[in-house]
Amino acid sequence: MFDAVVSPDVAEDEAALATPFVKCLVRLIRAQDSFGSWEGKSDAELLGDFIITKEQRRAIPIIGDPDPDVLWRLDMFYTAVGLAIEERSGLMASPMTEMSHEGFGRVVLTSGRLVVLSKTLRDVHRFGFETFWKLAAAGTKLAGDAIAAIEAYPEVARA
Amino acid sequence: MFDAVVSPDVAEDEAALATPFVKCLVRLIRAQDSFGSWEGKSDAELLGDFIITKEQRRAIPIIGDPDPDVLWRLDMFYTAVGLAIEERSGLMASPMTEMSHEGFGRVVLTSGRLVVLSKTLRDVHRFGFETFWKLAAAGTKLAGDAIAAIEAYPEVARA
């Protein structure tokens, strides 16, 4: 029947959930589950709110303060990028976020004296990814770019 | 009489107000005076709230959110450090501040890919300096340290 066939989408989701970046993100979120209320949830369920379809995206108004839950997810995402950087380079990369009430802002990750990642944030209200695969790809790319910066200036990252 | 003698303190204040850092700070504050309401004020009056004596300091409670005016002065101070860095190095140094509600936080100034200044903030509620001279010395030192970092890693600061 319909359910018995593993669709390419499902296989893609599984591959996405197995990437080192998404594993960092899941670990980070589970670490905040002090009361064990998410123990029964699968990784896909835990990350469900990171996924926003194009239609959902369009429906989110970008006026007023961004939702605190969105800000929390944004913070988790960039902290997970930092964690992925640490896993691969051994250097701690700490994130700093500055945000206006209108959902514009900037996130910076630093290691030692090196800015390993600097990104302008826009439409934070609508922060999310279309698929798990896009979530995994975005985080993996950011971590990869940061690693490249560390490799270009190793002594600054250790300063 | 008492007033006719220029006390060493007054001479010190004048020297402090003439330093490039304090001039940056004054310029920055005057730039925010859109309605010209501070035009009649001297530089010393304009910077008056940056000065907190030891007794005043002790009297400020460090519970609750820091006063918005204190946060504004903190922001002006570090933006002026950035401006002083730019004057001396030609490189723009943009500040980013992250603060908890308890008055602990971190300020980072970056130029290109270089962290030119990273400072932990404590007791933000009590941000201030005992004398104009101490204000001038603190800002000048921070700008000097940042310039030294830029000179140590010039290619990173321009990356």
Each residue's pLDDT tens digit, B126-155: 999 999 999 999 999 999 999 999 999 999
Which pLDDT score, from 0 to 100, does residue B5 have? 56
> Using a CB-CB distance cutoff of 8 angstroms, which residues of chain A are in contact with residue B107?
none
What is the span of the domain harbouring residue B46?
8-32+39-158
- Which ipTM score applies to this complex? 0.81
Nearest to B127, CA basis, from B63, B61, B59, B52: B52
Give the contacts of A111 (CB within 8 A, at least 6 positions apart): A85, A89, A91, A92, A93, A94, A146, A150, A157, A158
For residue A150, give the chain B residue with the closest CA.
Answer: B113
Closest CA–CA distance from residue B8 to any residue of chain A (Å): 40
Residue B61 counted as domain residue? yes
pTM: 0.85
Residues from chain B that touch A115, judged by Cβ atoms under 8 A, are: 110, 112-115
With respect to residue B127, please indicate whether it lies within any of the assigned structural domains. yes
Chain A residue with Cα closest to B96: A98
Residue A1 lies in a domain: no
Give the rounded percent of residues in chain B with a pLDDT score beyond 70. Answer: 96
Question: pLDDT at position A102, please?
Answer: 80
pLDDT for res A1: 45
What is the full per-residue pLDDT of chain A (159 aa) written as tens digits?
Answer: 455 555 778 888 999 999 999 999 999 999 988 888 888 999 999 999 999 999 999 999 888 888 889 999 999 999 999 999 999 999 999 899 888 778 789 999 999 999 999 999 988 999 999 999 999 999 999 999 999 999 999 999 998
A3 found inside a domain: no
Residues 6+ apart with CB under 8 A from A110: A93, A94, A96, A116, B108, B110, B115, B118
Residue A153, domain CATH: 1.10.3100.20
A2 domain-assigned: no
Looking at the structure of chain A, the number of domains it has is: 1
**Mutant choice from A97, A113, A145 vs B, greatest count of B C-beta within 10 A:** A113
Residues in A whose CB is inside 8 Å of some CB of B read 96-98, 106, 108, 110, 112-115, 118, 149, 153, 156, 159
Note whether residue B3 is domain-resident. no
Mean pLDDT, residues B18-23: 95
Q: Is residue B151 part of a domain?
A: yes
